[in-house]
Amino acid sequence: MVTQVGAISRTVQEPDNSAVATRHELAMPGTVRYVSSVTGSSSGPGTVGTPYATVDQAINESAAGDTIFVLEGHTEDITLATEFVPDVAGLKIIGLGRGARRPTITFDETTGNIPISGAGTLLENFLFTISGTKDVVIGITITGADVKLKDIELREAAATDQFVDAISISTGAARCEIDGYKFTGVVAGDATQTALLMAVALDGLVLKNLWIVGEFATAAVEGTAACTRMFMENLNLQQEGTVDPVLTIHANTTGVGVNINLGNITADDAGFLAALTASNKVQWFGLKITNAQGMHAGEEAIPAAKGWASGPAQIA
């Protein structure tokens, strides 16, 4: 049976009627299902003892408010955009384990993609990587409102195994939140444009606790459309490419940036200033830029250097 979790302890019978046991579980609403590529089966039924073999099998059996726990050591290969599809509203998909024991999702074709369309989806504690000499066009696409990514890592494997756009936040993704995103790119690679792309106007976007390093053709984080009420906190971004941009935000984006640290390998004034593209419509608290020469500046000097006549403005 699939466990309905409404109490800390409960007595359940295994699906084959072989045993009755008391389980201690997290108290949460909805139905809990489990996934493991090690011990799982395509037929489930999704208990700890008989989990599903893939995340999508569990998603297909889920309803709004349910939780999927992906067990330690789970691995999956993603070839298309139809193999890991979080399209159920309010679904929590939580990976268990730390480091190499986290659930690991490997993209092995350029067309591999995880499209998150379910409103209110939580995706937490996963490692995503690449194999097979493939440059993945987009790793994760977010179109659902109120989606949250928590403590995830995207890791490039080699100069020919890269993400073009690692994460794309797209139309419909209002109030998206990314909290805890580590991206480790490859220097001297052949593909990566950006670790995070906002190509459409978004309201209420939250970016927190980002550690992004790599060689980016456009910028580590790139916003090409005007966003409103954007909040950024603890962004640590390092550009290792010969181009200069690190953080690029549309000139009409409004919001707040707190503790933003940008670095690039440029060794000239022009490149130093090009690390940040934004405007005085974002209010900055603790903005720092550093380059390979050791040049550094904070929010006291940057507005004048960028030609922001009135300095940082209030959030609009």
Q: Return the amino acid letter for 107.
A: F
pTM score, whole prediction: 0.87
Q: Pairing state of beta strands 9-13 and 20-24?
A: antiparallel
Q: What is the pLDDT of residue 88?
A: 98
Q: What is the SS3 string spanning 109-125?
A: CCCCCEEECCCCCEEEE
Tens-digit pLDDT string for the chain (316 aa): 344 444 344 454 554 555 555 554 555 679 999 999 999 999 989 999 999 999 999 999 999 999 999 999 999 999 999 999 999 999 999 999 999 999 999 999 999 999 999 999 999 999 999 998 788 999 999 999 999 999 999 999 888 888 999 999 999 999 999 999 999 998 776 568 999 999 999 999 999 999 999 999 999 999 999 999 999 999 999 998 877 799 999 999 999 999 999 998 876 776 777 889 887 899 999 898 888 777 676 666 666 666 664 444 433 3
State the Cα–Cα distance between residues 116 and 120, nearest whole angstrom. 10
Q: What is the pLDDT of residue 315?
A: 32
Q: What is the pLDDT of residue 314?
A: 36
Q: What is the pLDDT of residue 1?
A: 38
Judge contact between 235 and 260, C-beta under 8 A.
yes
Residue with tokens 């059996």, as numbered in its chain: 61
State the Cα–Cα distance between residues 101 and 95, nearest whole angstrom. 10
Domain ranges of the chain: 29-192, 207-302
CA angle 137, 140, 141 (to 5 degrees): 95
